[in-house]
Structure formats: C-alpha cells, structure tokens
Amino acid sequence: MTLALVALLLLGGAGPAAAHHIGAWAPRDNPVSANFKQIKFSLQEGKRDVALRLYETGDLRRELRARATTLPAGLDEAIRTGLAAGDVPAAERGLMVFFLRLVHELALEADRQAGDTTAPPSARAAAARRFLEAIWRYYNLVDFVVSQRDAKAAAGVRLAFEEAEETVKENAPADGVDRIGGPLRTIAKIVAGLIETSATTARRDS
C-alpha cells in the first residue's frame, strides 16, 4: 500500500501544497484527476458514449482496477454500467467511492508517517504537506457530490483538513506535526463512513 500511495504522490508533480483557504485553491491535476474531469465534462455535455470511452481507456480506471482488492466488490462494473446507461447518479456514486477510498488510504498513511518520531519534525511536516496536497486533490473532485449526500460529513472533512494543514504550514511551530494525527484520523473516519453508507445504499437500490 505504501508504494502505491507514494506513486500517487509522485503523479501529482508539484512539491508541497501552497497555503490556501478551502474552496479557493485546487492542486494541479495528475493523470487520474484529469481523466475524471474529462469524464465529468462529457457527462455534463450529455455525451455518455464519450464519457464511457474515457473511463474504459483512461488512467482512472487503470488505477481503480489496480486497487480492486481494497474497493467494494463490483465498483468498476457499477461505474461502467452507470456511464453506459446514462445513469449519472449511479456513476457519480461509484466515482465518489473510488476517490474517497484514495483519501482514506492517504490520510492513514500520512498519519503513520507524520507520527514516525525517528524522523526529524521538519521532514515529517514536509511529508505531511505532500500527503495533504494529494488528499485535497482527490477529495476536491467529489466534495460537491459528498455535500449533496451528507452536508455534515462534507463540512467535517473540510474542517479537519484545514486543521491538519494549519499544523504543518510553512511557518508553523516545529512541533506542530505532532498534532496532525487527530485531524487526519478524523478525515479517515468520516470518509470510511461515507463509503459504507454509499455501499449500503447501492445494495438497497440494486
């Protein structure tokens, strides 16, 4: 899992996230997030055949299939079926679950690395900033969908993210990284609940 998460961080290209206020900044795309935006735009334009092709041949699906063992069973097929049928809510739900799972894994790994006291605080803080950039890259893509489904949970993720970011910003005290674990675990807990709720809804609707 760690190697896969490192690969996701490297795909982002840029270094640590710049200071920002939630909602006013978005990290640069990597191939997975760029592919998602292409799919989303095609759906908005009513071009479901294009959206399906972009999904079937794109980096998003490759990443999803590489992580199949950590995702709810049948997620790939559910997204594909939703896109093919023009069932936007179903496709959105599946894509949301995929990105929330990435956020969950990144938050837990960020917590692990930030809590590794064998490394200097400055190195731990730098690593945490890179993880936070990756977390926001993926969560930002589905925040609107999450907000529609559970506004309280969406607000909780955003607040926890801001709290985590505050502890490791460039001018934060050196020991700030020691306080990042709480908000990171809050993010992981909230998104895990969202994933479970979505899976339950999908089973009920099937």
- Asked whether residue 93 carries a pLDDT value surpassing 90, the answer given is yes
What does the pLDDT read at residue 199?
73
What does the pLDDT read at residue 202?
56
Give residue-wise pLDDT tens across range 38-73.
Answer: 999 999 899 999 999 999 999 999 999 999 999 999
Q: Tell me what the mean pLDDT of segment 152-176 comes to.
A: 92
Nearest partner of 171 among 25, 26, 23, 16, judged by Cα: 16
The CA distance from 183 to 164, in Å, is 5
What does the pLDDT read at residue 31?
95
